[in-house]
Each structure stands twice: as structure tokens, then as C-alpha cells.
Structure 1
Amino acid sequence: MTAQNLLVELFVEELPPKALKKLGDAFATVLADQLKAQGLAPADAAVTAYASPRRLAAHVAGVLPRAADKAVSTKLMPVSVGLDANGQPTPALLKRLTALGADASAVAALKRAPDGKAEALFHDSIAPGAALAAGLQKALDEAIAKLPIPKVMSYQLETDCELPGWSSVNFVRPAHGLVALHGSAVVPVKALGLTAQNSTQGHRFEAAVSPVVLKDADSYAATLQQDGAVIASFNERKAEIVRQLAAAAAKVGNGAKPIEDEALLDEVTALVERPNVLVCSFETQFLDVPQECLILTMKANQKYFPLLDAQGKLTHQFLVVSNISPADASAVTGGNERVVRPRLADAKFFFDQDRKKTLASRVEGLGKVVYHNKLGTQGERSERVRSIARAIGQQLGSDALAQQADTAAQLAKTDLLTDMVGEFPELQGIMGGYYARHDGLSDDIAFAIEDHYRPRFAGDELPRNPVGVVVALADKLETLVGMFGIGNLPTGDKDPFALRRHALGVVRLLVEKDLALDLTGLLRAAVPAFGSLIQDPSGALADFIYDRLAGSLREQGFSAQEVDAVLALRPERLSEVAKRLAAVRAFAALPEAPALAAANKRIANILKKSEGENTATVNPALLVEAAEKDLYAALQSTVPTANAKFDAGDHTASLQALAALRAPVDAFFDGVMVNADDAALKANRLGLLRELHNAMNRVADLSRLAT
């Protein structure tokens, strides 16, 4: 059997662009996996996915015309059920053999083998390998069934009966062609009412021939590009667009570069079959509008790539990725310039109209916008954010910071009532910053209004100034405390209020801005702002935030042991966590660390079992054994140094100072019986262990490092 490469293509009407890449990868992956599972393709077969606006295709290397036969061992039934007392087959066994295509003559060849507590009968046979036509049909059906289709269409097929359009098909888009080539031979498979052939369609307008006939599986991409004017590979088409965008920007000069937007690039790649990048422009008067508005309308509505100058400022030129390449492109560029002009004019109109009212004049209107049916309006929410922000401002700075935070929090949500944000919700906060400056407010207030949603996502920048930090923290705490307070918690993958993201935002603000705020106190201080609307959720919310912190730290490369050791103590100042982790990592590298961690675990267990008998003090007069006297002396000389280092913020030196305790701790456990018969001696030794335990676990719970 000679293996050859296989090509399968579904030719359809225009596919949803935002889902195209995922659809193409899924089609190729499932198809290839099914062929491999049937033994028609090797496990390491190279698989190439193709996806263009009107086709999904897969190229699989080394596919066999027929899979190899396989030995199959089928469990029949327990021996006691299949054979009677004389060793003769029972009716049940004969019936099972008949179902497998065998008869009584096969009984002698049956194998016996243990199966749990009983012995069972097994029938060995040879299963013929799947033929490619049948195997590919199964794989194709599976690939179509498992496509991650965002929304299914139902359409009708014409049939041979008297009533055309009687058969209906459900698929992402109506399909019009199917190609299945094994080498140069057509594989007779069917799908979606179509029969496989060796031809497809190229570009709607620029294909050299129609249909495009494919010589064999390996010539698919080259033939489609040459005769059909289509770059079938999503990744190659994307790379070509990137190349042309850079070339067009270089031709414009002055350091111009297209805006970087991976999602936009993917979407445009899914909209064109043969990209042609053209330079267009608009009137410079529109540059008076904030560039975020112009960029957003060009990207979201027109799928254009705005051009920025060397300083990152928007220029009056932009790039269009066309799907046609006429000799004279003036009609294409002129058409795109005419289309974008009304969009930019709308943005300018919104900007001009919005500036006729101050942000302060919009505050009252927030009382008419519902935030949540259990938590009131946006106006009530803003008042809660103000209250929380004032409290944080007082803790972090002064009356001045608290007053600025109060002003920014009062105005932060008012841009929700503007025409611009009504049209482009993505600009909330950003437009508030522009309108605040127009109203004559300081940059501190304007930046805080603009930044109070930050960080919006993983890796996003944090607020630029202290006022912004305070308002951003207050805004996130209001959301978290409010939603937890009414029991509106994330479940599984569902998190409609983005509470996980808000919790990570709180963590980042506390840690990266090195804020001197205790987490539990911060949460409890936010609760009174809600009055009687909620139950105090600070305990459950603290657990939630520590969980998010733990996950974030593990993603940053810290081990689960290191993270558990530090967070087991629930440090209130999250800004100290990084120092504690560094100290734990340095301590774990010491030769004394394993023994001390193991001893710490042992001590924790002893103290846990002796709860109620522990004492926090040690009476030196009751120290009898030499080993306990030595441990007590070591504690007196070592702990003050470790505590001084800890209090000075040098957590690494604090833990390393404790390494000197290894020898006396080992000697103590070797030579001292903690649970002495004498109650006074026992209590004193438990007190000694309690003092040791407290000293060793100020930075982290070292017992978590024990293996």
C-alpha cells in the first residue's frame, strides 16, 4: 500500500470573519485526528490547515489507501457463564459468537484470562483495516459535526424529487463544493449534499480560470494562487498583509507606521482572499477630534489601519486592505475615503455636542441610569465610590489627596451619558478625561477619570498618578464588595461582572504601587458605603482575592510550595508578598532548609494535637535536658536578630538567620520527650516549641516547604 498526501476542501459562501481561523484549525485537526485514529495516517503525519473567506481545507501527509489489519481481542463473558459444567458452550456464549460472525467451531480457540476476581473468555480475530473512502467519510462527517460554529444556518438543497429544495442542511454557511484528492485520485465522499471532485472556485473577480482544476493534493495551494488568485493559507495571507502594510507605510514616509492590532489583523485576513493594501486619506480638520475616537471608528466600522506618525500621533492617512487589485486603484481609494468621511463627521459632531455640557452638569443624570436592581443607580454607585475613595485617600496621603479622589470619583462615570460614549462604549473613561480638561479641571483629575478603569485586562497599564490609583482601587472594591454582598459570585466559566479581573486589578494596584494598605481592613472599610443593601462579604471576598493572587504568582513562575508557604499566613500587606517569596526561595536553597522545614511541620502537628495545653511563655528553671537548654539558648541569641531583620523589611536575612537553629532543633527532637509525664515539664516544652514555631513562621509557613 502506497501512502500519498490527502487534500480535502469545503467551498462555501463567505464565512464569519471573527471565527474563520478557529474554524480552519478545527476542521483540519479533527479530520486528521480521525484519520490517525483509524490507522489511515501515521500519528506524526504533517497536517496543514487552510482557511480563506470562502473555503476550509486540510492537507494531511502520508495517508494510506487502506489501513493495516488489526488483531482484536474481544471479551465475551466469564467462563462460568460461557461454559457449562462439562465444558460445553452455553446458549449465551453461542449467541455472543454469532453476533461476532463466528460459530461453535470457534469455542476451542477461545482464550481464558483473569478479569478481576473471575476468569473470562476472550475471542481473538483480525479486523480488516478501513478503506480510505469509508474512513475519510467518517472523518469528514466528524470534522463537520465538531466545527465550533458560532451560529448555524439552515438552508435547503435541490433534490431529484419533484419538489426541489425539500432536503435541508444545517451548516455555518451554504456549501457549494467539495474536493477530496488522494494524490491525484478523487476519493468518493459526500458531505452537505455535495459529492467530491477535483475542482474548486477561485477569487470571485480575479480568478484566471473557472473552475480551478487541481492536479493533485500537493498542488492545491500553488494552483489556487496561480489560477484562482487566492492565498489559501490563513497564516501566509496574514503575513502578506503585514508585509504590504509596512511597505505602504514606508512609502508614506515621515516615520509613519500602521496601528498594531492583532484582532483587527486577523479579522481583515479573514475578509480577503488576495490582499492589496492601498493608502487613503481624510481631511485634516478631523484631527481636532481625539484620536482614540477616530482610530476606533476606522477600526471597528471600516476595518481600516490608521497611520501614526513617529511620535504616535494619528495622521490624516490610513491603509485599506482591498480584495481586488485593479490597474487603476483610484476608484477603490476614492470609495473608501467617501465611506469614512461620514463616520469621522459623526465623531466630530458627537465631540462638539458633548463639550457643550460640563461633566459636573451630568452628575444628576446618573441617578436615572440603573446599575443593578439590587444595588441601585449609577448615581448611587458613584456616591459609594466617592466614600471609599475618600477613605483610601486619607489612609494613603492627606486631605488633599482625599479631596481630589472625591472629585474624580464623582465625575468618573458621567461620560456614560455623553453621545460619544453612547456610540462607542469602549471610550468610557477616555472621553471623560478629554471633557474634564475642556471643563478646566487639573490633569490630576482628568488622568484619574481616564485611568479609573485600569487595569482593564492582564498586562494593561496602571493609573498614572496617585489620584487615579485611589479612584481605580475604590471603583474595583465597590464592584467586588457589592456583588459579593448580594451573593452574585462567579460560577465556573461565568463571570458576567468580571469579578476575577477586578480582583486581579486590586492585587496589581496594591502590589505594583506598593500601597501601605491592609487587605482585610480595606475590604471592611468599603462595606459601610452600602448601608443595609448588603451583608458583610469581606471574609469570602478576601479568600477570593488571595486565590487570584496565588494563581497569578504561579503564572509568574513561583512554585506551588513557595506560594502556599507565603499565603498560608495571609499577609495583609500584599505589597510584601514578593519580598517574602524571594526570602522563601533563598531560604529553600540553604542546606539547613529541608531539616528545618520538616521540623517545623512536626512542631505544627504537635502543637495542633496539644491545643489547650500550650503556653506562650517558657520557664528557664523547668528546662531539664541539655538539648532543651541549648535550644532555648539558641532561640535567645537567634530570634532577636531574625526579628530585627524582619521588622526592617529584610525578609531574606530574617529567614537566613534561622538557619543557625538546625543543630539545636535536631538535638531537641533526638533527646527530649515533649509529652513528659510531668505536666509542668510538658507545658514548658510545648511553650518552647510554640516560641520556636512563632519565630520560624513570621515570613512564611515553612512547614509547607517540607516534602
Structure 2
Amino acid sequence: MSTRNLLVELFVEELPPKALKKLGEAFAGGIASSLAAQGLAESGAAFEAFASPRRLGVLVRSVRSQSADKAVSHKLMPVIVGLTPDGQPTPALVKKLQALGADAGAASKLRRAVDGKAEALFLDSTQQGVTLADGVQKALLDAIARLPIPKVMTYQLADGWTDVKFVRPAHALVALHGSDVVPLQALGLQAGRVTHGHRFEAKAQDVSIPDADSYAATLREQGAVIASFAERRAEIQKQLAAAAQAVGGGARPIEDEALLDEVTGLVERPNVLTCAFDKEFLQVPQECLILTMKANQKYFPLLDAAGKLTNRFLVVSNIRPQDPGAVIGGNERVVRPRLADAKFFFDQDRKKTLASRVPDLGKVVYHNKLGTQGERIERVRALAKVIGAQMGSDHLAHEADIAANLAKADLLTDMVGEFPELQGIMGGYYARHDGLGEDIAMAIEDHYRPRFAGDELPRNDLGIAVALADKMETLAGLFAIGQLPTGDKDPFALRRHALGVVRMLMERKLPLAINELVAQALGLFPQAAPETTSQLADFIDDRLAGLLREQGYSAQEVDAVLALKPQKLGDVAQRLAAVRVFAALPEAPALAAANKRIGNILKKAEETVQLQVKPALLREPAEQALHAAMRDVTPRAGQQFEAGDYTGSLQTLAALRAPVDKFFDDVMVNAEDADLRANRLGLLATLHGAMNRVADLSRLVVER
């Protein structure tokens, strides 16, 4: 059966730019997968997605005009139910056949086959293949129904009575199989071959598509539209780089994938233009200027070779006039009041010190069960002082108290009121203006870090202390009032806060015990229930385990190390590395299995096991040999462990494999003599403790 390429396009009013990429992928992928499921295209058939501000489309390769017929077998019922003793169909069988569209005469053609323990009746038939029109119609309607639409619109069709629900009003539907129109209907539209190009620069209002393969080229030539989202995005990147190079001086556009996607969703025919603003505005912190240009105007600010903001910016226009001067001038006029507002906010904010704003935080509600921001600051200060003292000195604790006290003061500034994304950053600028010193300014600026996965940590110890205190206060407070994340719902981003705590403790190798940190934080909240401590500790442990698995460690390796509940997370990476090296040793499987066996024996012991061995009670040669090996090996392994050489410690313990194997071959642990039994259990308990200082080696056993 011959195949041709299939094109489907919905022409609509301007789609939401931030959602366009996902809408285009979902529309194209939905149609392609549905066609494959119906047998009209091969599984995994190649397709190309199209998505512009005013269209969603897909070109699916090698689509059949009709899917192949296929044999279908329906199990009806057991023979004893469907046929009388003389072989006539029962009423139940007749009813079942009628439900399947067959008459009673089909009963004589039924196939009998054993099904389980009984013989059953089967109706074999041939199902006719799906026609192209029916299959594409189903695929289109299914794809429309499953689009990830941010907000559905309801609008009326031309008849004035019929309501349609879709992301935006749709005005045309194109469906071509090769050069033939596929008779589809959707959203009140009848499919044809006519679409529309660019609002202003198309050669004609209507653009007729001759065949599916020429869709993109025809739209580009006749409609002045780059239909492919990916192609349009690449074109914008290319033009941005060229415009920056033309400016010179190592200029480069700011990197922002989300902004690039959004702008790609705003234009059909991108044209990058270079604009400028007055250099006086560069006195304002560049974060403010960059944010207002990106968020409000969708511009690409230009940075110099050192990463500093220049007074040039790039605009992605949707038109290509012969003289772009009017477009450039218009954008320069539009951006000036935005930058002027930023300068005004910055100048006004510096008229008051951060310290003078702190009392007003007592008027700002943080949470109705946790009090005001002022009360919260006092809790963060208390925790920051404790952490600072544990990290270094009384001086660090004092500085942490000052920085924590001022950390939230910028929430009351005009700049942060206009741009909440700048909280912390503006606090750092205002702290420098107040003469508080670079360390405190950096700590205030960094105390929200890491803001997201992969974000940088605070740059100095003072910032780490305040950031840890801030995140732990948030976690403890919300856990204390029962606001735990559930499923995929985490409105207070507690998973992100916990991950930030884990990263700081691990990557900075801080001398802080996690359980002690949890207890100190929860101690600030008298309403916390006793079980909250274990809940919060387990929550942080889960984030740690997830992070380690993302870093490439196996579930077994992570489980083995975290089973010991290590308190200082700075050495977790070393423990994992040691476990990985140990697991590769030839002795590892036998020692891990023996370790698990020892653990089980100790758990089942009826008496209390003492961590001591009386050499005089070592009767069997195998237990004497194991004790002698332990006296030689475990002190060396212990010294290596204390020195932080976890890999060496586990490698040294590997020498115990042979005497351990011999012990289990020759010695009865649960001897009838109570003294012998207690001594052997003590020997095993001592061995168990020595073997499991780095990790729980029994977790490395591979279950078969």
C-alpha cells in the first residue's frame, strides 16, 4: 500500500508565548502517535512539529491511505454455557453474537478451543483497516483534547449559537495527504489547503499549500513565516550572536533559555535590531536593569567581555522594514521610563538604611501560625548565631547575627516591591551603601542560595551560616505546624530548601551534625510535636539519597552508606567512594553476605550480646584464627577510618574473608554451653562493629 506524507495545521489567533513550545510538541506528538496506534503510520514514524504564534502543525512521514485489515478473535463464553447438549446456540450466546454484530447463524462457525481448564467458544473475524479520513479525524480530536492548555477560552462560531472551547479562537484547518485534502472537521472548521501568513508581510492574505511536503517552504516564501519553532529559535540565536559581534568589544547577549523560548513564541519572522539607552542608567545595579528589560520588554541586554552590562540591548522584531530606525527609536523610547523607574527606586531606597527598616518587619505577616517576618528574623538570628559558633568562632557568630537581622529588610524596599526576584540581591547593594562591609553584604545577598538545583552556594562562611539558618527555620517552622509536602504538592518549596541544606553541609564539609541541626531548629518552635524531629530528619535524608543517586551512585551504594545515618555529611562522598572500591574487590560478595548473616544472628540472639571476647573461651581453631586475624586487622582498619581513609579501611578489612568463611564452616555459634555461646556472639558483635563503620556492608548483598 502506497504512503504519502501528511500535513495537519490549525491556524489560530495569537497563542500564549510561554506555552507555545509545549503546545506544539504535544499537538504534533499526539497526532503522530495516534496515527501509529491506528496502523496508519509505522510505530516511531518520523514527524516534524510546527508551532508559531498563530499556528500548530505537524508533518508525519509515510502515512497510509488505509491501515491493513487485521484478524480479530473474540472470546465469547464456555462451551457448556453457549451451546445446548445437542449443539444449538443458547439464548446467552445469541445475545452475545448480536452485541458483536453477528447473527445466530454465525454460531456454526465458532471456533472451539481450550481456555484454562474449560473449552470456550471464539468468534474469529477480520477487522477492516481504518481509513485515512477516519484515522486522522480521531488523531486530531484526541490531540486537541489532550493539549496542555494553560487556560481554556470559550468563544462562539459564526452562527452566533455554537460555543467552542480552545486555547485561542481557531480560524482555519489544513489537512493534506500528499496533495489531496483530507476531509476533516474540528473546532467548527472544515479542512482545506488554505492558511494565512504573516499579518503584515505576507505576499497575499491567503496562502494556498499545494502539498504536504511544500508546507514550510510555501509559508516562508509566500507567507513570510518560519513555521518551525526550532528553526525560528535557531534563527534568533544566530541573529543575536551576529548583532552582538557587530557591536564589538566582546559583547554578548545575556543567556536565558526561557526568554529565548518566549520570544520565539512571539514572532513569526524574527529580525534582531540593536538599540541603546542612556549610560547614566548604568549607575543602577545591573540586575535591576537586566530584569526590567527581560521581564517587561522581552529584550536581550548586552554584556561586555567581563560580564558587565553595557548600554546596548537587542530587540527581536516581528517585521523587517527597509528602514528599521522607527522600530529602534520606538523601543528606545519605551525602555527609558522603565529604566528611569528602576533608578528612582534605587535612589529612594538608599535614603533609608537597612537597619531602620527592620522594626517594620514586625508588621508584615509571614504565616498566620508562625507570626510576622519580625518574629521569624529573631528565630533565624538565634539559629545563625549557634551555627556560626559551631562553624568557626564567636566572631563569625556575631557577624551571622548582624547579617541575619538585616537579611529580610530589603523586602520593604521599593525595588524589591516592584521586582520580588531581586530580594537578597538588593539587600547586598544597600548593605554596601550603609557601610556594613563586603562580608555582611555578600551574606545578605547570598542567604537565599541555592535558589534552585545547580545554583551556586553562598560565597563565604558567613553567607553559609545565614543561609543554613534561614532554610532550617523555614523547614522546622512549617513541619512544626504540619505543613508537610504531599505527593507532587510542595507550595513552600520545602524539598528545595532541604536540598539546599544537604548541599551546603556536603559540599562545604561543615562540622555540623544533621540531627543536632534539626533539634536546634525545632527547638525554636514550642508547638512542634515530638514526632516532628524524626519526620524532618527523614525528609532531609530522602533529599540526600535522591541527590546522591542523581550524582551516579547506585541505590545499593547509597543505601549502604545512609543506613548508618551519618551525621556529618561532608564525608558521605568519601564513604561512597570507599564502598564502590570495596564492592569491586573479589572478597566483597562473601564478606557482605557474611556481614548480613552476622547481623541476623545478633538480632535473633536471646541474650544481651556483650562487645567483649574472652580468649580462654575460644575453643575451636577457626574461632581462634578469626580472633587472631581481627587483632591484627581491625586496629589498622580503625586507624585508617579515624584518619578519614575510608577506602583503605575497607580494603584492610577484606583480609578477614578467609578466617570469616572458615569460622562459619567450622564453628557452631549457638552452642549449648551459655558461656561459649556468649563469647562467640561477642566475637561476632565485635567483628560486626568493625566492619560497619564506613557503611552497612550487608546492604551490598545481591539478592537472587
1:157-190 CA-partner distances (Å, limit 9, x unpaired):
123xxxxx10000000000000000000000000
1:465 aligns with 2:460: yes
Match of 1:699 in 2: 694
Question: What are the residue-to-residue correspondences of 1:149-548 with 2, within 5 Å?
Answer: 149-159=149-159, 165-532=160-527, 537-548=532-543
- Tell me the amino acid that sits aligned with residue 195 of structure 2: T
1:241-282 CA-partner distances (Å, limit 9, x unpaired):
000000001111111110000000000000000000000011
Q: Scaled by the length of structure 2, what TM-score is found?
A: 0.99
- Tell me the amino acid that sits aligned with residue 694 of structure 1: G
SS of 1:301's equivalent?
helix
Distance in 1 (CA, whole Å) between partners of 2:540 and 2:113 is: 55
1:476 deviation in Å?
0.5
The number of residue pairs the alignment matches comes to: 702
1:612 deviation in Å?
3.4
1:613 deviation in Å?
3.8
1:290-344 CA-partner distances (Å, limit 9, x unpaired):
0000000000000000000111110111000000000000110011011101100
- Tell me the amino acid that sits aligned with residue 2 of structure 1: S
1:206 deviation in Å?
0.3
- Tell me the amino acid that sits aligned with residue 92 of structure 2: A
Distance in 1 (CA, whole Å) between partners of 2:175 and 2:546 is: 46
Contact 1:374–1:533 (CA under 8 A) maintained in structure 2? no
Match of 1:664 in 2: 659
Q: 1:537 to 1:698 in 2, by over 3 A?
A: same
Contact 1:485–1:535 (CA under 8 A) maintained in structure 2? no
1:568-599 CA-partner distances (Å, limit 9, x unpaired):
00000100100000100010111100100011
SS of 2:681's equivalent?
helix
Match of 2:105 in 1: 105
Q: 1:535 to 1:691 in 2, by over 3 A?
A: closer
Distance in 1 (CA, whole Å) between partners of 2:606 and 2:425 is: 57
1:689 aligns with 2:684: yes
Contact 2:480–2:527 (CA under 8 A) maintained in structure 1? no
Contact 1:482–1:534 (CA under 8 A) maintained in structure 2? no
Match of 1:564 in 2: 559
Distance in 2 (CA, whole Å) between partners of 1:386 and 1:115 is: 73
- Tell me the amino acid that sits aligned with residue 29 of structure 1: G
1:56 aligns with 2:51: no
1:459 deviation in Å?
0.7
Distance in 1 (CA, whole Å) between partners of 2:632 and 2:565 is: 28
Match of 2:605 in 1: 610
Distance in 2 (CA, whole Å) between partners of 1:653 and 1:474 is: 36
Question: What are the residue-to-residue correspondences of 1:35-114 with 2, within 5 Å?
Answer: 35-114=35-114
SS of 2:239's equivalent?
helix
1:414 deviation in Å?
0.3
1:540 deviation in Å?
1.2
Unaligned runs of 5+ in 1: 160-164
1:643 aligns with 2:626: no
1:675 deviation in Å?
1.3
Distance in 1 (CA, whole Å) between partners of 2:338 and 2:113 is: 77
Distance in 2 (CA, whole Å) between partners of 1:115 and 1:387 is: 73
Q: 1:170 to 1:532 in 2, by over 3 A?
A: closer
Q: Which among 666, 677, 685 is matched to residue 672 of structure 2? A: 677
SS of 1:149's equivalent?
coil
Unaligned runs of 5+ in 2: none
Distance in 2 (CA, whole Å) between partners of 1:233 and 1:65 is: 26
Distance in 2 (CA, whole Å) between partners of 1:638 and 1:246 is: 63
Question: What are the residue-to-residue correspondences of 1:557-636 with 2, within 5 Å?
Answer: 557-636=552-631
Contact 1:375–1:533 (CA under 8 A) maintained in structure 2? no
1:528 deviation in Å?
2.5
Distance in 2 (CA, whole Å) between partners of 1:441 and 1:252 is: 38
- Tell me the amino acid that sits aligned with residue 315 of structure 1: T
Distance in 1 (CA, whole Å) between partners of 2:228 and 2:82 is: 57
1:610 deviation in Å?
1.1
Which 4+ runs in 1 deviate beyond 6 A?
Answer: none
- Tell me the amino acid that sits aligned with residue 308 of structure 2: K
1:101 deviation in Å?
2.5
1:89 deviation in Å?
1.2
Distance in 1 (CA, whole Å) between partners of 2:559 and 2:119 is: 48
> Which deviates more, 234-243 or 391-400?
391-400
